[in-house]
Structure 1
């Protein structure tokens, strides 16, 4: 207990240092804790969104689960028990096992197929039918005609329901009595349809078949009556029993996906233990969508670790630096304790208890702070950009505490390393160390800087070779095994480059001192002496600042590059803000209607070789709400061409150069000359065409050659090549994905080819066929107003490609959200930790030099000169570190940010991936750093002004 009290007192005496250490541990645990929390939250959001998309596209409710048990020759008692046991299992175990709310559990029973004969007509044509029952059916249907059936037989007749389609199929009327015939029917079974029903709500997921087409030859009887008469009474053999779950998939989270999978396995096992395999059926629409999220979860986890490694290394440096400061202040005390008989483990134990207290509190609070940070990540829309986005489902899970526990354990070890090193030194050794401040740091002795640089450059070289293979062979990123540690290389490069420049920095100081040794004023002379002789004292702070600033620059460059390249890829792929396709009037025969005779179908199949189209009016497109410019763009896939002895097929694009140039989006500096100059080339001559470089290289066509162009049933016409282009809106010159070959040359032979010509000549000389309409919108346009305008003008639009919608979808992609969120969070944490570390270091340094500063005041230096010396010292240490950090961060960005294109498919990435820096990002970064330095200098200046000469000298006497 005495030891514990002593530890608490020691922590109170060093409260600022201990608080700073605790802050670092807390941030580390919180940052690591965000990984599983954020991964689960973002994948949960995307899982629900994908299931919603599945429902909209497939028109199938994804939260459904259907299983059916078929019966063969089971006895009635055994069959009834199997149904009863399975009912109990489905309601008591399977339902709760899914982990999400069960909206409906529909029990469906079916009899075997029997013959339907009108009562009293033995010679009538036999029609096959079955009887079915559904649980809670009455709550989901409405009567179109007739009434609901009685709960019990009426005069020995079972009353039933049927659909209008079934009524038409059977060609019967309501209230007509029928007899069911079969060899295994016990006695006489008569039924009477008394009502027609339909769905109460069109989108009710209660019905497995939305159109009720599976009930076209079925009569529906009440569930209780079915159970009493057919399951227990065995009057008609029961053929099958099914269970249909309607689950609330909007409540599905990544945490209960495992429950869904395990419950699916449990249901299959339960059903298959009761029947043979071919007598069971399972339909789970969402299983494929759900299963792939396990792989996406692993990929996202790797990505988050890779992006967070630099920040975690920086936090490790911070904790090691603060721990060193704590131990440095107590080295004299530790050395005295060792000289007076205290063992090393006793001293280490006292620090270990202190560390356990800090790490334990951080572990309890860190995951909850991580949850708050996760909410901030969900609002990120770019680097240091936040938007109002729909709230993510965020909660602390077991993995957050597990990850946080590992982070706390590593932090605990980092705390003890300086303590264990300090306990090895006796009081004599400690005094000797104080007199020898020029020791070379360990990382310089071990050449860790050179090693880190070598490893990072080798990793970069390996990655670029693999990337080259992906591009040349048309592979996907899944075809090559890429080590996620490739994304750790930037951190190694930053550390290696920073340490290497710090190795050279003392020589720069000596050079500055030597150049002006005859002219430097006393204050500058003293500062150069202080920094030069105590260089190792500043190493930790300078490395720390270098890492912080370099990681900040790298994060800004990476986020801006990824966001801009993603937007450029979508804009280039679409070509314009909106791409519309409309229905054109033509002379093609209409397709035969359903039920048409074979002769009519054969006649409709005879399509004329040339279809004649009537071009609709173009002016209405210019009058649509929000439209600034519109252009006609004709695209013909697989148009044939020939030039000399060379021939092949290419994509033909016809444009009106002026309208097209004002409408389309095309990035700058992508071609040898401005894009509009190439359009001016073909505007000068109606015969002029532009060809892609892939066509020129593969077929040996050059500028000035004549090339004949046509397509099926359209005669070729001569055109003249006026220019060769590498890129054109929507055109991807890379080999198609999957064209894998061992040689790069063969990969190039599979590259797509393009021809761009004048639309008017193509329509006049070749054929008039439907074209696309590309729209450029005014700033701040409303998509809803545009759609309303299209509907109001009754334009026959068949498809719309919305670039803004695709951009929004891309920004909601979990990987891009993770990139933006993690880079933003990492930068904010880096700056906060950097400010705390910077301030803490200089405050302690200033307190440790109180006597020195007091003597300088006593010998005549003014407060202004003293503050000037302090500012110069900061400039030579912190300022230089920040400058090195900016330089290293820029180089790291240009070298390693291209690695992130592996998140896309590089073989289909157009425009080419390029590193982008935006001035606003650096303004934010430099503003924050400048404010940090300014506040720090103000605080230190205030502390200097509070020093009293007599107190400092008295301290020296003591």
Structure 2
């Protein structure tokens, strides 16, 4: 207890140092704790988004689970027992097991197929019979509405079972309501009759209660009351029951990554239970969302790997920070440690006292860190770029066991980092301690061990490996399905930054000596004293300078990486779409309609015209749509034929009105040799003019001024003149299909896509008038909902809509891009906070340690302004130099390593070509934060200097 009290008192005496240490441990635990929390949150949101997309695209509600047992030769008692057991299992075990709310549990029963004999049929032949089944559904009446007739009775009426039917079923059986049918089948007990008394339809069109959206599976069925079915057919066995099914309707919007395992396990349990209850293998299962759900395990692994790699630089800095603060704490107590050692205290006793202190701090940080990590996760979710935040829908953020597990590991590592300086300090005796105080210019450990050279060597090796891999991806045309980022792409730049920073710090003392030597005869006393102070105490500044170098350099690199990936993703989508909206309308034509379903196939070559004639709809309504700034007609023929002399081939033909197209389309600057509009002006001058792609020119040996004949199937070719050769054009990808070539083999490049761009008016007049696309450029701040409402009101009859904004939002919400933006931003903010605390801590302790020196300087005549000037100059030679080094290294790291991020895309088919991008706003944010930190720190230190009392400082010196 006495030892514990002593430790608490020691912590109170060093409260600022202990608080700084605790802050570092807390940030480490919180940062590490964000990884599993964020991974679960973002994947949960993306899982729901993907399921919503699945529902919109396929028209199938994904939150369903269907299973069915088919019966064969079981007795009626056996069937009733199996159905009762499965009902209990589905309601009591399966429903809660999914882990998400169950909206409906539909129990479906079916009889074996029976033959219908209409009333008054005199001759009953098997050929004239129609078959049907009787079915029941739980809570069926709550989900239907009657179109005709009434609801059936829940008991037989005069021996006749009343049923519900669909309108199509009545038509199929050529019957009307209240028609009585006699049922015939094997094993039917007695004469059974049914009577349709009501026609039903869905109460809501999008009700997921119905497995089939169009009710087509009920067009050969008669729906009977659930209770009556159980009484007469399950228990009474009037008609043998052939199958029983259970249909779960689940609220998939509540699906989270933590529920995925439960969902899959429950699905497996249901399948095993169903298969275990049947003698013959007769069962059906359908789980639409299973494929989407299972792939998220792999995505979670990839995302966790990415998050660890993104956090490596910050974790390295936090490790440095804790080592530095622990070193400062131990340095202030080295005299006490040396005295205790000289008086017989064992090393383990001294280490134990520091260990107890560290355990207290780490335990508190471990308990609080994951909760802070939850708050940091919300920052991650709101990031839209580096140091850029947007308002997004709230992510489902939850604490999980992994957050505490990872946090515990981080706390344990922090604990070890704290003890390293303590263990080293206990090896020094009182004599050795005094010797060390007299040798302040000792080399740091990393310089002695040449860790800077080792880190640089590893990072350069990694860079070479990435370049080689990128070359292979381009040459082989390999592909990646999603945005994938190799974790080493962030580890290697961090090592490069660390190695380069330490290497420059190795050289910095020589630069100081050179500056001192050059102006030793002219320097004023304040600068002379500052150069002496920095030069003789250079090793003391190393930790602080390493902090600032890594913070700034990684901040610059992070800004470049995030901006490059975000902008290249955006440019790829905009270029691939061509405009803000691309619309395709249905044109009236003389093409014969398709044959009706079930009709025998006919030879359309005898009836269809060789050339289909189209009637062009009015173009004016497009310009009048809400938010439209410019509209353009764009004709695209994927497989047009061309010939020039003896050379021919197939190319994509694009017809445009050059002025409208130039205003409506999107095309990046500096992608071609000349501005894009100048190429459009070339073909505007002559209706015969065309632009051809460089791939066509190289493969067929064409040049400017050549005549080329263009047409397509059933359309006679017409002459055009090549006015220009272009490398890129909106939506055109000049790269060969992925995996189709080896770029190192010149002979296999002949299948690269080719393009011809001509005047739309000439193509329509001399070739053919066929449907074109409408490209729209929208006004800034337009409303998508108003635009869609305008389309609906205009009744344009569109067959397809490409929405670039929607595609951009989808890309922005990719979990890997979100993680990239969020973690880079969060890592930089934490780095800045840690650096600021370390910066203040170091300078405050440094000023306190030089109180006597500063007091003497004030006493011999230096003014407060001169003293503050010396402090500012000292900061310039340390912090300022570190910031300049950080900026230089960060830019160099960006130029070297950011180009390899095109591995995240399909580098062999990337259009526009991958380009490293920087934005001034990123650096303005970055440098503003750093300058604010330095000015705030200088203000605090200046205030402390102003509070020094000369007589107190001198009295302290006398003591």
Report 1:448-467 matches (<5 A).
Answer: 448-467=451-470
Which of 171, 177, 180 pairs up with 1:177? Answer: 180
Report 1:557-596 matches (<5 A).
Answer: 557-594=560-597
Q: Does 1:16 align with 2:19?
A: no
Matched with 1:240 is 243
On the 8 A contact 2:485/2:904 being kept in 1, the answer is: no
Change beyond 3 A, Cα 1:83–1:301: same
On the 8 A contact 1:473/1:735 being kept in 2, the answer is: no
Q: Does 1:385 align with 2:388?
A: yes
Alignment partners' CA distance in 1, 2:794 and 2:937: 65
On the 8 A contact 1:640/1:647 being kept in 2, the answer is: yes
Alignment partners' CA distance in 2, 1:323 and 1:745: 62
| SS class of match (2:65) | strand
Which of 165, 187, 190 pairs up with 1:187? Answer: 190
Per-residue CA deviation, residues 454-481 of structure 1 (Å, 9 max, x unaligned), is: 1111111211221222223221136999
Matched with 1:44 is 44
| SS class of match (2:591) | coil
Report 1:159-238 matches (<5 A).
Answer: 159-238=162-241
Matched with 1:825 is 826
Higher deviation after alignment, 501-510 or 617-626: 617-626
Q: Does 1:288 align with 2:291?
A: yes
Matched with 1:472 is 475
On the 8 A contact 1:548/1:830 being kept in 2, the answer is: yes
Change beyond 3 A, Cα 1:619–1:225: closer
| SS class of match (2:817) | helix
Change beyond 3 A, Cα 1:147–1:772: closer
On the 8 A contact 1:473/1:744 being kept in 2, the answer is: no
On the 8 A contact 1:473/1:747 being kept in 2, the answer is: no
Alignment partners' CA distance in 1, 2:606 and 2:531: 93
| SS class of match (1:62) | coil
Per-residue CA deviation, residues 647-691 of structure 1 (Å, 9 max, x unaligned), is: 221111122222222221111111122212222222233322222
Alignment partners' CA distance in 2, 1:71 and 1:873: 89
Alignment partners' CA distance in 1, 2:686 and 2:63: 60
Q: Does 1:303 align with 2:306?
A: yes
On the 8 A contact 2:484/2:816 being kept in 1, the answer is: no
Matched with 2:643 is 642
Alignment partners' CA distance in 1, 2:482 and 2:42: 26
Alignment partners' CA distance in 2, 1:820 and 1:526: 45
| SS class of match (2:651) | strand
Matched with 2:781 is 780
Distance apart, 1:390 and its partner CA: 1.3
Matched with 1:350 is 353
Change beyond 3 A, Cα 1:480–1:867: closer
Report 1:567-716 matches (<5 A).
Answer: 567-594=570-597, 601-602=602-603, 606-716=607-717
Per-residue CA deviation, residues 404-463 of structure 1 (Å, 9 max, x unaligned), is: 111111111111111111111111111111111111111112211111111111111211
Matched with 2:78 is 78
Alignment partners' CA distance in 2, 1:469 and 1:686: 44
Distance apart, 1:592 and its partner CA: 3.2
Distance apart, 1:851 and its partner CA: 1.6
Distance apart, 1:289 and its partner CA: 1.1
Distance apart, 1:608 and its partner CA: 1.6
Change beyond 3 A, Cα 1:628–1:143: closer
Change beyond 3 A, Cα 1:241–1:485: same
On the 8 A contact 2:474/2:743 being kept in 1, the answer is: no
Distance apart, 1:287 and its partner CA: 0.7
Matched with 2:371 is 368
Matched with 1:521 is 524
On the 8 A contact 1:474/1:747 being kept in 2, the answer is: no
Which of 397, 401, 411 pairs up with 2:400? Answer: 397
Alignment partners' CA distance in 2, 1:605 and 1:821: 62
| SS class of match (1:477) | coil
Matched with 2:318 is 315
Higher deviation after alignment, 260-269 or 369-378: 369-378
Alignment partners' CA distance in 1, 2:280 and 2:647: 60
| SS class of match (1:936) | helix
Matched with 2:927 is 926
On the 8 A contact 2:63/2:250 being kept in 1, the answer is: yes
On the 8 A contact 1:590/1:604 being kept in 2, the answer is: no
Alignment partners' CA distance in 1, 2:647 and 2:465: 39
Alignment partners' CA distance in 1, 2:222 and 2:577: 52
| SS class of match (1:130) | strand
Question: Structure 1 stretches of 5 or more lacking a match?
Answer: none
Matched with 1:252 is 255
On the 8 A contact 2:478/2:738 being kept in 1, the answer is: yes
Per-residue CA deviation, residues 166-190 of structure 1 (Å, 9 max, x unaligned), is: 1221122333333222221223323
Report 1:915-954 matches (<5 A).
Answer: 915-954=916-955
| SS class of match (1:455) | helix
Q: Does 1:432 align with 2:464?
A: no
Which of 525, 534, 537 pairs up with 2:537? Answer: 534
Alignment partners' CA distance in 2, 1:762 and 1:508: 71
Alignment partners' CA distance in 2, 1:318 and 1:867: 27
| SS class of match (2:770) | coil
On the 8 A contact 1:592/1:604 being kept in 2, the answer is: no
Question: Structure 2 stretches of 5 or more lacking a match?
Answer: none
| SS class of match (1:550) | helix
Distance apart, 1:918 and its partner CA: 1.1
Using the size of structure 2 for normalisation, the TM-score is 0.97
Matched with 1:756 is 757
Report 1:763-912 matches (<5 A).
Answer: 763-912=764-913
Task: Tell me the matched-pair count.
Answer: 956
| SS class of match (2:609) | coil
Distance apart, 1:265 and its partner CA: 0.4
Matched with 2:6 is 6
Change beyond 3 A, Cα 1:185–1:624: closer
Matched with 1:484 is 487
Higher deviation after alignment, 781-790 or 289-298: 781-790
Alignment partners' CA distance in 1, 2:924 and 2:482: 40
On the 8 A contact 2:489/2:897 being kept in 1, the answer is: no
| SS class of match (2:692) | strand
Matched with 1:117 is 117
Distance apart, 1:276 and its partner CA: 5.0
Q: Does 1:134 align with 2:129?
A: no
Higher deviation after alignment, 363-372 or 809-818: 809-818
Per-residue CA deviation, residues 796-830 of structure 1 (Å, 9 max, x unaligned), is: 33222222222222222222222221111111111
Which of 421, 438, 445 pairs up with 1:442? Answer: 445
On the 8 A contact 2:657/2:759 being kept in 1, the answer is: yes
Alignment partners' CA distance in 2, 1:786 and 1:119: 58
Distance apart, 1:318 and its partner CA: 1.2
Distance apart, 1:332 and its partner CA: 1.0
Q: Does 1:417 align with 2:405?
A: no
On the 8 A contact 1:475/1:740 being kept in 2, the answer is: no
On the 8 A contact 1:474/1:740 being kept in 2, the answer is: yes
